[in-house]
Protein backbone atom coordinates (compact mmCIF):
# COMPACT_ATOMS: atom_id res chain seq x y z
CA UNK A 1 0.00 0.00 0.00
CA UNK A 2 1.31 3.49 -0.85
CA UNK A 3 0.28 6.91 0.38
CA UNK A 4 -0.13 10.22 -1.40
CA UNK A 5 2.06 13.17 -0.44
CA UNK A 6 -0.30 16.11 0.17
CA UNK A 7 0.99 19.65 -0.32
CA UNK A 8 -0.99 22.87 0.18
CA UNK A 9 0.48 26.14 -1.11
CA UNK A 10 -0.74 29.26 0.69
CA UNK A 11 -0.68 32.99 0.02
CA UNK A 12 -2.85 35.96 0.94
CA UNK A 13 -5.55 35.84 -1.74
CA UNK A 14 -5.02 32.55 -3.65
CA UNK A 15 -5.08 34.27 -7.02
CA UNK A 16 -1.35 34.90 -7.71
CA UNK A 17 1.49 33.20 -5.88
CA UNK A 18 -0.10 30.11 -4.36
CA UNK A 19 -1.98 29.03 -7.51
CA UNK A 20 1.17 29.64 -9.54
CA UNK A 21 3.04 27.36 -7.13
CA UNK A 22 0.23 24.79 -7.24
CA UNK A 23 0.25 24.52 -11.03
CA UNK A 24 4.04 24.70 -11.34
CA UNK A 25 4.37 21.85 -8.83
CA UNK A 26 1.70 19.83 -10.63
CA UNK A 27 3.62 20.31 -13.87
CA UNK A 28 6.91 19.19 -12.29
CA UNK A 29 5.24 16.10 -10.84
CA UNK A 30 3.45 15.33 -14.13
CA UNK A 31 6.70 15.49 -16.10
CA UNK A 32 8.16 12.88 -13.74
CA UNK A 33 5.11 10.61 -14.06
CA UNK A 34 4.35 10.98 -10.35
CA UNK A 35 0.85 12.44 -10.58
CA UNK A 36 -0.73 9.56 -8.67
CA UNK A 37 1.75 10.01 -5.79
CA UNK A 38 1.08 13.66 -5.01
CA UNK A 39 -2.01 15.70 -4.14
CA UNK A 40 -1.33 19.40 -4.68
CA UNK A 41 -3.64 22.34 -3.97
CA UNK A 42 -3.59 25.97 -2.87
CA UNK A 43 -5.54 28.29 -0.60
CA UNK A 44 -5.70 31.82 0.79
CA UNK A 45 -5.35 33.05 4.34
CA UNK A 46 -7.87 35.84 3.62
CA UNK A 47 -11.42 35.94 2.26
CA UNK A 48 -10.79 38.86 -0.08
CA UNK A 49 -10.73 36.94 -3.37
CA UNK A 50 -12.99 33.97 -2.63
CA UNK A 51 -14.30 32.34 -5.80
CA UNK A 52 -12.06 34.35 -8.13
CA UNK A 53 -9.91 32.73 -10.83
CA UNK A 54 -6.15 33.12 -11.16
CA UNK A 55 -5.23 36.79 -11.58
CA UNK A 56 -4.82 37.50 -15.34
CA UNK A 57 -1.10 38.43 -15.30
CA UNK A 58 -0.35 35.28 -13.29
CA UNK A 59 -2.46 33.23 -15.68
CA UNK A 60 -0.60 34.71 -18.66
CA UNK A 61 2.76 33.91 -17.09
CA UNK A 62 1.70 30.28 -16.56
CA UNK A 63 0.34 30.08 -20.11
CA UNK A 64 3.60 31.53 -21.44
CA UNK A 65 5.33 28.51 -19.90
CA UNK A 66 2.76 26.04 -21.25
CA UNK A 67 0.95 25.53 -17.93
CA UNK A 68 -2.85 25.71 -17.75
CA UNK A 69 -4.76 26.78 -14.64
CA UNK A 70 -8.36 26.57 -15.86
CA UNK A 71 -10.97 25.88 -13.23
CA UNK A 72 -9.12 27.38 -10.30
CA UNK A 73 -11.24 29.33 -7.83
CA UNK A 74 -9.78 30.98 -4.76
CA UNK A 75 -10.68 29.43 -1.42
CA UNK A 76 -9.69 30.16 2.14
CA UNK A 77 -7.55 27.78 4.15
CA UNK A 78 -9.38 25.99 6.97
CA UNK A 79 -8.32 24.45 10.24
CA UNK A 80 -9.03 21.00 8.78
CA UNK A 81 -6.36 21.59 6.12
CA UNK A 82 -3.75 21.13 8.82
CA UNK A 83 -4.79 17.52 9.27
CA UNK A 84 -5.49 16.93 5.58
CA UNK A 85 -2.09 18.03 4.22
CA UNK A 86 1.44 16.85 4.97
CA UNK A 87 3.02 20.23 4.23
CA UNK A 88 1.60 23.76 4.17
CA UNK A 89 3.94 25.89 2.07
CA UNK A 90 3.64 29.65 2.52
CA UNK A 91 4.98 32.43 0.34
CA UNK A 92 5.90 34.90 3.10
CA UNK A 93 5.97 35.32 6.87
CA UNK A 94 2.62 37.12 6.93
CA UNK A 95 1.11 34.01 5.35
CA UNK A 96 2.69 31.90 8.08
CA UNK A 97 1.31 34.14 10.84
CA UNK A 98 -2.17 34.04 9.33
CA UNK A 99 -1.99 30.29 8.71
CA UNK A 100 -1.04 29.77 12.36
CA UNK A 101 -4.03 31.88 13.37
CA UNK A 102 -6.29 29.61 11.32
CA UNK A 103 -4.78 26.31 12.46
CA UNK A 104 -4.24 27.30 16.08
CA UNK A 105 -0.58 26.28 15.96
CA UNK A 106 1.93 24.04 14.22
CA UNK A 107 2.53 21.13 16.56
CA UNK A 108 3.72 18.90 13.69
CA UNK A 109 5.99 21.50 12.06
CA UNK A 110 4.15 21.38 8.75
CA UNK A 111 4.00 25.13 8.02
CA UNK A 112 7.05 26.29 6.05
CA UNK A 113 8.31 28.96 3.64
CA UNK A 114 8.66 27.96 -0.02
CA UNK A 115 12.08 29.53 -0.51
CA UNK A 116 13.50 27.51 2.39
CA UNK A 117 13.61 24.72 -0.21
CA UNK A 118 15.61 26.88 -2.63
CA UNK A 119 18.50 27.26 -0.15
CA UNK A 120 17.22 30.75 0.65
CA UNK A 121 16.13 30.23 4.22
CA UNK A 122 13.87 32.96 5.54
CA UNK A 123 13.43 34.70 2.19
CA UNK A 124 9.97 35.48 0.86
CA UNK A 125 8.24 35.31 -2.53
CA UNK A 126 7.26 38.94 -3.12
CA UNK A 127 3.59 39.53 -3.90
CA UNK A 128 3.32 40.56 -7.58
CA UNK A 129 -0.07 42.13 -6.83
CA UNK A 130 2.02 44.96 -5.36
CA UNK A 131 5.35 44.65 -7.20
CA UNK A 132 3.93 43.97 -10.67
CA UNK A 133 6.99 41.79 -11.31
CA UNK A 134 5.56 38.43 -12.33
CA UNK A 135 8.88 37.37 -13.87
CA UNK A 136 10.61 37.56 -10.47
CA UNK A 137 7.70 35.75 -8.85
CA UNK A 138 7.87 33.03 -11.49
CA UNK A 139 11.60 32.54 -10.95
CA UNK A 140 11.18 32.33 -7.17
CA UNK A 141 8.28 29.88 -7.38
CA UNK A 142 10.01 27.58 -9.88
CA UNK A 143 13.17 27.59 -7.77
CA UNK A 144 11.20 26.78 -4.62
CA UNK A 145 9.07 24.07 -6.21
CA UNK A 146 12.05 22.38 -7.83
CA UNK A 147 13.82 22.42 -4.48
CA UNK A 148 10.74 21.04 -2.74
CA UNK A 149 10.48 18.13 -5.14
CA UNK A 150 14.20 17.43 -4.79
CA UNK A 151 13.71 17.45 -1.03
CA UNK A 152 11.09 14.73 -1.30
CA UNK A 153 13.16 12.75 -3.78
CA UNK A 154 16.24 12.99 -1.60
CA UNK A 155 14.82 12.67 1.91
CA UNK A 156 11.07 12.69 1.62
CA UNK A 157 8.57 10.30 3.10
CA UNK A 158 8.23 6.63 2.71
CA UNK A 159 5.53 5.12 4.81
CA UNK A 160 5.01 2.15 7.07
CA UNK A 161 2.68 0.83 9.70
CA UNK A 162 3.85 -0.59 12.99
CA UNK A 163 2.05 -2.11 15.93
CA UNK A 164 3.51 -3.14 19.26
CA UNK A 165 1.19 -4.83 21.75
CA UNK A 166 -1.81 -3.22 19.99
CA UNK A 167 -0.22 0.20 20.45
CA UNK A 168 0.12 2.14 17.20
CA UNK A 169 3.30 4.09 16.56
CA UNK A 170 3.95 6.99 14.23
CA UNK A 171 6.89 9.23 13.48
CA UNK A 172 7.63 12.92 13.13
CA UNK A 173 9.51 13.64 9.86
CA UNK A 174 11.22 16.72 11.30
CA UNK A 175 12.85 14.63 14.00
CA UNK A 176 14.07 11.64 11.99
CA UNK A 177 17.70 10.85 12.79
CA UNK A 178 20.36 9.75 10.32
CA UNK A 179 21.27 7.00 12.76
CA UNK A 180 19.75 3.65 11.95
CA UNK A 181 19.80 0.00 12.82
CA UNK A 182 18.99 -3.23 11.07
CA UNK A 183 16.16 -5.31 12.53
CA UNK A 184 15.25 -8.56 10.77
CA UNK A 185 17.06 -7.30 7.66
CA UNK A 186 14.92 -4.15 7.67
CA UNK A 187 16.38 -0.65 7.69
CA UNK A 188 14.78 1.27 10.55
CA UNK A 189 15.45 4.89 11.43
CA UNK A 190 15.70 5.87 15.08
CA UNK A 191 13.17 8.57 15.80
CA UNK A 192 10.74 9.71 18.44
CA UNK A 193 7.02 8.95 18.41
CA UNK A 194 4.60 11.61 17.27
CA UNK A 195 1.14 11.59 15.66
CA UNK A 196 1.27 12.57 11.99
CA UNK A 197 -1.87 12.79 9.83
CA UNK A 198 -3.43 9.71 11.38
CA UNK A 199 -1.06 7.28 9.67
CA UNK A 200 1.93 5.46 11.05
CA UNK A 201 4.84 6.69 9.01
CA UNK A 202 8.60 6.52 8.96
CA UNK A 203 10.37 9.15 6.89
CA UNK A 204 13.65 8.44 5.13
CA UNK A 205 15.50 8.29 1.82
CA UNK A 206 13.78 6.85 -1.21
CA UNK A 207 14.07 7.18 -4.98
CA UNK A 208 12.27 9.18 -7.68
CA UNK A 209 9.88 10.89 -5.30
CA UNK A 210 7.79 7.75 -4.89
CA UNK A 211 6.50 6.84 -1.43
CA UNK A 212 7.12 3.14 -0.76
CA UNK A 213 5.67 1.03 2.02
CA UNK A 214 8.10 -0.97 4.12
CA UNK A 215 7.37 -3.90 6.38
CA UNK A 216 9.38 -3.26 9.51
CA UNK A 217 9.90 -4.81 12.90
CA UNK A 218 9.96 -1.96 15.36
CA UNK A 219 10.71 -2.49 19.00
CA UNK A 220 9.07 0.14 21.18
CA UNK A 221 11.20 1.73 23.86
Is 73 marked active-site? no
List C-alpha distances in Å: 196 to 12, 37, 60, 82, 88. 26, 18, 38, 10, 14
Handedness of CA 146, 148, 151, 152 (dihedral sign): negative
Q: Which of 138, 141, 176 is nearest to 156 (CA)?
A: 176
Q: Per the residue annotation, which of 11, 16, 69, 145 is the catalytic one?
A: 11
CB burial readout 88-121, b (16+ within 10 A) else e? bbbbbeebbebbbebbeeeebebbbbbbbbbebe
Is 145 marked active-site? no
Q: How far apart are CA 55 and CA 15, in angstroms?
A: 5
Q: Per the residue annotation, which of 27, 86, 92, 127 is the catalytic one?
A: 127
Handedness of CA 189, 190, 191, 195 (dihedral sign): positive
Q: Per the residue annotation, which of 17, 27, 90, 140 is the catalytic one?
A: 17
Note every long-range contact of 63-72, with CB atoms under 8 Å and residues 24 or more positions apart, other chains counting: 65/138, 67/23, 67/24, 67/27, 68/23, 69/19, 69/23, 72/19, 72/22, 72/23, 72/42
- As annotated, the active-site residues are 11, 17, 127
Amino acid sequence: MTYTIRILFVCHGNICRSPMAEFVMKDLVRRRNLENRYEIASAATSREELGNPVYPPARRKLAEKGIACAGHRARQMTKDDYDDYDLIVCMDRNNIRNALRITGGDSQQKIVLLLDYADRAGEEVADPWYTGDFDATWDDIVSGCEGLLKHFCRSGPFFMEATKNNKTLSFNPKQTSKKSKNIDQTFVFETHVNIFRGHHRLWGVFEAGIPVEFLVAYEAA
